[in-house]
Amino acid sequence: MNLSEHFTLQELTLSPSAAKAGIDNTPDATVIANLVRLCQTLEGVRALVGAPVMISSGYRCPALNEWIGGAPNSAHVLGLAADFTVSGLTPRQTVELLDESGLVFDQLILEFDRWVHLGLSENKPRRQVLTLRKGGGYLPGIV
């Protein structure tokens, strides 16, 4: 099932961790609606960077989120967040481009210099840009 022109429900729900743990990561209709909204934003990312966006983590049902040690209030559980990389760009370059754009988001996080987390909000977006380093917690901005 396509959620947008370039993103499918399968790639936004695929989880080797869920398969390994025997967890059903099937979203309900509310989460699917959120995933459609998220994919519209990811289409904006794709247009901005001019390259494919590879999703490493999208929706996580509550059981999966707990099993992997995700934050209890993670936007992934609502279908409002995705972790990704962009072909031909480092995660840092991607975050810098998105930070300088007019793209609407709640959180944009450079995680361990390995991937980008983009989260939306059910409320007014904060457009918060953070960096996450191993053992250092979240730091404001691109560090």
**CB proximity list for 133: less than 8 A, separation 6 or greater:** 112, 139, 143
Q: What's the pLDDT at 143?
A: 73
Provide the number of structural domains found in the chain.
Answer: 1
Asked, for residue 1, whether it belongs to a domain, the answer is no
Look at residue 140 and tell me whether its pLDDT is greater than 90.
no
Please write down the HEC assignment for all residues of 7-21.
Answer: CEHHHHHCCHHHHHH
- CATH code, 93: 3.30.1380.10
- For residue 51, pLDDT over 80 is answered with yes
In a domain, 33, yes or no: yes
Reported as a pLDDT band with limits 50, 70 and 90, residue 135 is confident
Give me the pLDDT at residue 142, please: 86
Q: What is the mean pLDDT of residues 88-94?
A: 97
Cα(106)–Cα(129) distance, integer angstroms = 9
d(C-alpha 19, C-alpha 7), whole Å:
21
Instruction: Flag whether 61 is in a domain.
Output: yes
| Average of per-residue pLDDT across 109-133 | 94
Is 100 part of any domain?
A: yes
Is 2 part of a structural domain of the chain?
no
* Residue 4 in domain: no
User: Can you give the residue range of the structural domain that contains 109?
Assistant: 9-140
Whether 104 maps to a domain, the answer reads yes
- What does the H/E/C string look like for the chain? CECCCCCEHHHHHCCHHHHHHCCCCCCCHHHHHHHHHHHHHHHHHHHHHCCCEEEEECCCCHHHHHHHCCCCCCHHHHCCEEEEEECCCCHHHHHHHHHHCCCCCCEEEEECCCEEEEECCCCCCCCEEEEEECCCEEEECCC
Determine, yes or no, domain membership for 24.
yes
